[in-house]
Chains A and B, each alone.
Chain A
Amino acid sequence: MTTRSPLRIEPTTPPDESPPMRPSDPLPALPPPKPDPATVPDPVISARSLCVWYGSSMALKNVDIDIPRHKITALIGPSGCGKSTLLRCFNRMNDLIPGARMEGTIKFEGIELADPSIDAVALRRRVGMVFQKPNPFPKSIYQNVAWGARINGYKGDMDELVEKSLRRAALWEEVRGKLHKSGLDLSGGQQQRLCIARTLAVEPEIILMDEPCSALDPIATAKVEDLMDELKEDYTIVIVTHNMQQARRTSDMTACLMLDEAAVQGGHRTGVIAEFSPTEKLFTNPSDPRTEAYITGRIG
């Protein structure tokens, strides 16, 4: 990251600091300080004042984040601060949780994701997801990769797509001879790469990864990380991780989420974005004291 200061967000600023404009007011001399459209040039996802509730408890408050195109964005923060929740907003997987609802705006290529009436099924092909626990289908390796493409109406050569996806997921060499064996016969790390291959086969624009390496050993982790590095040429990746080194190694931008102090006082657990900066800056020179405390291991 070359330009530092324009990329910085100050999310700790309360959003309603500037009084609302009334029509009778003269034109203000300065544009409102937030949101700053120049934060990330050409973001692929852009969330503003995003709040998420589970039933009556607020899980995320006033999240502003821009996901840069063809980069890796890491989400870090202590357990329960809403990283997975934020990730699931991007492909509307929160719809599957009864009682979950969101407010605010999330724009993805001109689509308003917070609009309840959008077609979540169509969206999820474009915004793929890899889960924390490898969850291949109890079917053959071939079927695991081909199924998503088939139901989405893939018209090309399926064998070719399966091979291409498995190659991209760095799994082809290990499974080429046993494509018709069960996907559950693979090791955990292989299964996770199979899940990545399955996601790549539907050619999404964004890949959301929720702690994809937490069940893997360091060798498999390294493979997945190499893979992410290669994939970012063509894809935008958002990864949740508890591993600071991993965030630092792999990502271009990092968002550090924290529990809102005021909410904790009131007995709630509500997450806010403490800092969203280029990874290098966040880890070497964090501007938020909570972020600094978290990455140096003093809290969380």
Chain B
Amino acid sequence: MSVVESDNYEPERRARRLAGPLFGAACLLATLTGVVVLSVVLGAVAAAALGHGSQHPWYAIGPNAWKLGRFLVSLTQKFSEDAGFRAGVYGSLWLLALTVLFAVPTGVGAAVFLEEFTPPGRLRRAIQMNIANLAGVPSIVYGILGLALFVRAFGFESFALGRSLWAGALTLALLVLPVIVLATQEALRSVPSSLRHAALALGASRWETVRDHVLPMAVPGILTGTILAVSRAIGETAPVLMVGAAGSIDWIPNGPGDRYTALPVEIYNYAKEPGVEFQSVAAGGILLLLVILLTMNSIAIVIRNKYRVPTR
């Protein structure tokens, strides 16, 4: 079928047709950059962890697999043969639980207040801008803040938490708080206002509306944002070092008042060791950390899919 030519339009524009595929190819390249770099890094780490120096290739998992197990069991790190991450794994899991405990209620509460109870205006804009800025503050700054505020309590001995899990978790909670607030606000904003109107028109108070309709519908978004933020925090090294995670301890914390060490801090310490064997130990720790983080992210995805509210 031939198209009638019109003088008002250019007859044929090949460049226009080429632009689409070219742009697509550029985007594909951009995607591959991330994937390729990540795979190379992961491969290198796995190779270092499982290959025990350069004696074995990284894919020769067989003779080295037992070492992965030993990372978990050994506490002392005097000899690389016994080097392990148990204290770090326990410390990080403690930190994780306590951080969630502090940060989630506070962050969700703040977001609900801002979105559902504050009328839009100067006050809300001011708070909003503050929170957005806080989300961009480098983590080391939170470390210094945590050191002054929680570890030392500005010199008031009786309030100081010392280098305990409390101090570490509170510092990490501050770090993730703005991210949780922003994610929760986003989730609340995606709840259609017709739902709020429906509830309010029945004589519900704001609180009842939020509790029974708005929050349940926002749960997937809140959880996704929260888990991503917290798993980010668990990988943080600088602030935890700052508030005094021990470089090497050979006991496991029994309660939130105990001293602790964290997985990334241990990795950092092993990586500093001069012995070649310790490099594979450090790489093993990275693998361990990756497994924990990927597990958390998968949990986020599962929860999100499970709680998804049908909106038709």
Task: Identify the A interface with B (CB < 8 A).
Answer: 91, 93, 96, 98, 121-126, 128-129, 131, 133, 135-138, 147-148, 151-152, 182, 184-185, 195, 198-199, 202
Beta-carbon contacts of B120-145 to A below 8 Å, as 1s and 0s?
11000000000000000000000000
Shortest Cβ distance from residue A190 to the other chain B in the assembled complex, whole angstroms: 13
Q: Are A96 and B203 in contact (CB under 8 A)?
A: no
Shortest Cβ distance from residue A91 to the other chain B in the assembled complex, whole angstroms: 7
Q: Which of chain B's residues have a CB closer than 8 A to the CB of A202?
A: 202-203
Q: Which of chain A's residues have a CB closer than 8 A to the CB of B196?
A: 96
From known contacts A184-B310, A184-B311, infer whether A147 and B194 are also in contact, taking CB-CB under 8 Å.
no
Shortest Cβ distance from residue B206 to the other chain A in the assembled complex, whole angstroms: 8
Q: How far is the CA of A111 from the CA of B208 in the complex (A)?
A: 24
Q: Are B198 and A137 in contact (CB under 8 A)?
A: yes
Chain A minimum-CB-distance residue to B206: A121
Q: Are B217 and A148 in contact (CB under 8 A)?
A: no
Q: Is B213 interfacial (CB-CB < 8 Å)?
A: yes
Q: How far is the CA of A237 from the CA of B220 in the complex (A)?
A: 39
Task: Identify the B interface with A (CB < 8 A).
Answer: 119-121, 192, 194-205, 208, 212-213, 217, 309-312
Q: Are B202 and A199 in contact (CB under 8 A)?
A: yes
Q: Are B202 and A135 in contact (CB under 8 A)?
A: no
Q: Which of chain A's residues have a CB closer than 8 A to the CB of B119?
A: 98
Q: Are A137 and B195 in contact (CB under 8 A)?
A: yes
Q: How far is the CA of A160 from the CA of B212 in the complex (A)?
A: 22
Q: Are A133 and B194 in contact (CB under 8 A)?
A: yes
Q: Are A195 and B202 in contact (CB under 8 A)?
A: no
Q: Are A131 and B198 in contact (CB under 8 A)?
A: yes
In the assembled complex, 5 residue pairs joining A and B whose CB atoms fall closer than 8 Å, in A order, are A91-B201, A121-B203, A136-B198, A151-B202, A184-B310
Q: Are B202 and A131 in contact (CB under 8 A)?
A: no
Q: Which of chain B's residues have a CB closer than 8 A to the CB of A96?
A: 196-197, 200
Q: Are B120 and A184 in contact (CB under 8 A)?
A: no
Q: Are B203 and A151 in contact (CB under 8 A)?
A: yes
Q: Are B202 and A148 in contact (CB under 8 A)?
A: yes
Q: Which of chain A's residues have a CB closer than 8 A to the CB of B212?
A: 147, 151
Q: Are A135 and B198 in contact (CB under 8 A)?
A: yes
Q: Are B202 and A93 in contact (CB under 8 A)?
A: no
Most chain A Cβ neighbours within 10 Å, of B198, B310, B312: B198
Shortest Cβ distance from residue A5 to the other chain B in the assembled complex, whole angstroms: 37
Q: Which of chain B's residues have a CB closer than 8 A to the CB of A124?
A: 200-203
Q: How far is the CA of A133 from the CA of B200 in the complex (A)?
A: 16
Q: How far is the CA of A195 from the CA of B120 in the complex (A)?
A: 29
Q: Are B201 and A128 in contact (CB under 8 A)?
A: yes
Q: Are A151 and B200 in contact (CB under 8 A)?
A: no
Q: Which of chain A's residues have a CB closer than 8 A to the CB of B200?
A: 93, 96, 121, 124
Q: How far is the CA of A93 from the CA of B194 in the complex (A)?
A: 12
Which residue of the partner chain, among B120, B194, B202, B311, contacts A125 with CB atoms under 8 Å?
B202
Q: Which of chain B's residues have a CB closer than 8 A to the CB of A151?
A: 202-205, 208, 212
Q: Which of chain B's residues have a CB closer than 8 A to the CB of A152?
A: 202-203
Chain A minimum-CB-distance residue to B212: A147
Q: Are A148 and B312 in contact (CB under 8 A)?
A: no
Q: Are B194 and A148 in contact (CB under 8 A)?
A: no
Q: Which of chain B's residues have a CB closer than 8 A to the CB of A131?
A: 194, 197-198, 201
Q: Which of chain B's residues have a CB closer than 8 A to the CB of A126?
A: 203
Q: Are B312 and A184 in contact (CB under 8 A)?
A: yes
Most chain B Cβ neighbours within 10 Å, of A148, A152, A202: A148
Q: Which of chain A's residues have a CB closer than 8 A to the CB of B201?
A: 91, 93, 124, 128-129, 131, 199
Q: Are A98 and B202 in contact (CB under 8 A)?
A: no
Q: How far is the CA of A41 from the CA of B203 in the complex (A)?
A: 28
Q: How far is the CA of A129 from the CA of B309 in the complex (A)?
A: 25
Which residue of the partner chain, among A135, A138, A198, A199, contacts B197 with CB atoms under 8 Å?
A135
Q: Which of chain B's residues have a CB closer than 8 A to the CB of A182?
A: 310
Q: How far is the CA of A184 from the CA of B217 in the complex (A)?
A: 14
Q: How far is the CA of A131 from the CA of B201 in the complex (A)?
A: 10
Shortest Cβ distance from residue A123 to the other chain B in the assembled complex, whole angstroms: 8
Which residue of the partner chain, among A121, A198, A199, contacts B205 with CB atoms under 8 Å?
A121
Q: Are B120 and A121 in contact (CB under 8 A)?
A: no
Chain A minimum-CB-distance residue to B192: A135
Shortest Cβ distance from residue B226 to the other chain A in the assembled complex, whole angstroms: 22
Q: Which of chain A's residues have a CB closer than 8 A to the CB of B312?
A: 184-185
Q: Which of chain A's residues have a CB closer than 8 A to the CB of B310?
A: 138, 182, 184
Shortest Cβ distance from residue A131 to the other chain B in the assembled complex, whole angstroms: 7
From known contacts A98-B120, A138-B309, infer whether A122 and B198 are also in contact, taking CB-CB under 8 Å.
no
Shortest Cβ distance from residue A272 to the other chain B in the assembled complex, whole angstroms: 26
Supplied contacts A126-B203, A131-B197, 14 more A-B pairs, CB within 8 Å: A98-B119, A121-B204, A124-B200, A124-B201, A124-B202, A133-B194, A136-B198, A137-B199, A137-B213, A138-B195, A138-B310, A147-B199, A147-B202, A151-B202
Q: Which of chain A's residues have a CB closer than 8 A to the CB of B199?
A: 137, 147-148
From known contacts A98-B119, A151-B208, A184-B312, infer whether A135 and B203 are also in contact, taking CB-CB under 8 Å.
no
Which residue of the partner chain, among B198, B204, B311, contacts A195 with CB atoms under 8 Å?
B198
Q: How far is the CA of A231 from the CA of B199 in the complex (A)?
A: 22
Q: How far is the CA of A184 from the CA of B312 in the complex (A)?
A: 6
Q: Which of chain A's residues have a CB closer than 8 A to the CB of B208?
A: 151
Q: Which of chain A's residues have a CB closer than 8 A to the CB of B204?
A: 121, 148, 151
Chain B minimum-CB-distance residue to A132: B194
Q: How far is the CA of A195 from the CA of B199 in the complex (A)?
A: 11
Q: Which of chain A's residues have a CB closer than 8 A to the CB of B198?
A: 131, 135-137, 195, 198
Q: Which of chain B's residues have a CB closer than 8 A to the CB of A123?
A: 203
Q: Which of chain A's residues have a CB closer than 8 A to the CB of B205?
A: 121, 151
Shortest Cβ distance from residue A180 to the other chain B in the assembled complex, whole angstroms: 14
